[in-house]
């Protein structure tokens, strides 16, 4: 099975077969979705609200995984989103550190 768009789907099928493709992609999508949420959108919430948000994230990831099975590059997009948000957070942290250092002097 060759997909033009989905590198992860091709890799999983070639190395692990087709037995658990959905659950492997679901796990990857959930991990990268949670990382993206935490880096870009998360705020301090009470525990129950936080649990609810992650349950809804899992439901949405289930739907995204169905699109991923059809060959759309969902997992690849989530990886890119996580990388871009990580770079953004790192740069923001560096700027805040420099600003606090200059304010102290």
The tens digit of pLDDT for each residue in 58-83 reads 999 999 999 988 888 999 999 999 99
Phi-psi bin for 44: left (phi > 0), alpha (psi -120 to 50), beta?
A: beta
Q: What is the pLDDT of residue 80?
A: 95
Q: How far is CA 28 from CA 31, 46, 76, 93, 103, in A?
A: 5, 26, 10, 27, 42
Residues 34 and 28: their CA atoms lie apart, in Å, by 10
The ranges assigned to domains in the chain are 7-104
Residues 63 and 68: their CA atoms lie apart, in Å, by 9
State the angle between helix axes of 47-69 and 7-16 in degrees (0 to 180), rounded to the nearest 10: 80
**What mean pLDDT comes out for the span 15-24?**
86
Residue 1 has pLDDT above 80, yes or no: no
């Amino acid at each position: 099975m060759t997909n033009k768009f989905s590198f992860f789907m091709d890799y999983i099928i070639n190395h692990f077969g087709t037995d658990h493709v959905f659950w492997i992609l679901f796990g990857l999508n959930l991990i990268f979705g949670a990382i993206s949420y935490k880096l870009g959108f998360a705020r301090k919430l009470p525990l129950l609200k936080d649990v609810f948000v992650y349950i809804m994230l899992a439901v949405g990831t289930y739907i995204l995984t169905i699109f991923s099975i059809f060959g759309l590059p969902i997992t690849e997009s989530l990886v890119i989103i996580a990388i871009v948000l990580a770079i953004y957070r790192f740069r923001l942290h560096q700027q805040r550190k420099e600003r606090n250092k200059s304010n102290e002097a």
